[in-house]
Amino acid sequence: MDGYEFLAARFEENRAHLKAVAYRMLGSDGEAEDAVQEAWIRLGRSDSAAIDNLGGWLTTVVGRVCLDMLRSRRSRREELLETGTPEGQALGPQPGADPEHQALMADSVGLALLVVLETLDPAERLAFVLHDMFAVPFDEIARIVDRTPAAARQLASRARRRVRGADPVPDPGAARRREVVDAFLSAARSGDFDALVAVLDPDVVARSEDAASLVRGAANVARQALMFAPFARSARFALVDGAPAVVSTGEGRNFSVMRFTIERGKVVELFVINDPAQLPGLDMVLLDD
């Protein structure tokens, strides 16, 4: 395999993730494909050998492309409002797209959320989507929006409040996500490897807040989760930055957080924060059992 083929193969490994990021940012299947294609073009123009974390680099590029597209879209809308011309861009998957694909995208994002996201400022939308849905650290988001990490955190927090305020109706999927987390905890507490694998997506990813460790695949993540068993016994269910999570406690204090990304009834990503000093900065709500 030559260098081009190897790079293309690596890009294809990340395509589904990039498409999901772009779709949540843009709410349009066609525009999401355009953003992913632009990332491939920019990768071809870059020194790929100097890129240490290709997945992170591509996510950053797609985020910047989507941010530019959102800003351009807002400018067009302002022009259309000034001229009184209606805009023909529809939100969500476009007519003529594969029906099965439309259904999958609608299930993973939710049209109601996309409608709410449309009301956000482009930078708020990017911070909210990348951090709350894909656990991208704020220092990386800050570089995309040209702000400090603290300002990026504020963007996401402001967007989160607006999203919650615009959607007072309980999320019908919240109960199912709670069931998935409970199943994960039960399997971890009992040391049931097969039950852990069953609740994990085959391509699940587990990573820590400092990006020092990255584990891929259901079997590998399940083996790591078994080491979590002593902490799982004291874990409490919570919402962290609006996402389902478990908080491990001891000696009257919280000392670690595991945040879940769940799609179609499976855990697709685990994000672990082991540094207690970072916990006060999280938007955390502990829930009763």
Here the tokens at position 48 are 């790929």
Domain extents for the chain? 3-166, 174-286
Q: Is the pLDDT of residue 97 over 80?
A: no
DSSP 92: S
Closest alpha carbon to 272 in 201, 224, 233: 224
Q: What is the pLDDT of residues 65-89, one digit of tens each?
A: 988 888 787 655 444 344 443 343 4
Domain 3-166 matches domain 174-286 at the CATH topology level: no
The predicted model scores a pTM of: 0.47
Mean pLDDT across 119-123: 81
Q: What is the share, in percent, of the chain residues with pLDDT greater than 90?
A: 15
Mean pLDDT across 119-135: 83
Mean pLDDT across 120-129: 85
Please give the pLDDT value at position 62.
92
CB 5 within 8 A of CB 91: no
Closest alpha carbon to 263 in 243, 246, 282, 247: 243
Separation between Cα atoms, residue 155 and residue 157, nearest integer Å = 5
Sheet holding 235-240, edge to edge: 214-216, 200-208, 266-273, 253-263, 243-250, 235-240, 284-286
State phi, psi for 219 to the nearest 5 degrees: -65, -45
Decide yes or no: CATH 3.10.450.50 for domain 174-286: yes
**Helix ranges, 167-273 (H):** 174-190, 193-199, 218-226, 229-232
Residue 36, amino acid: V
Q: What is the pLDDT of residues 206-262, one digit of tens each?
A: 887 665 578 889 999 999 888 876 666 778 888 876 678 888 876 656 667 888 888
CATH class of residue range 3-166: mainly alpha
Please give the pLDDT value at position 40.
93
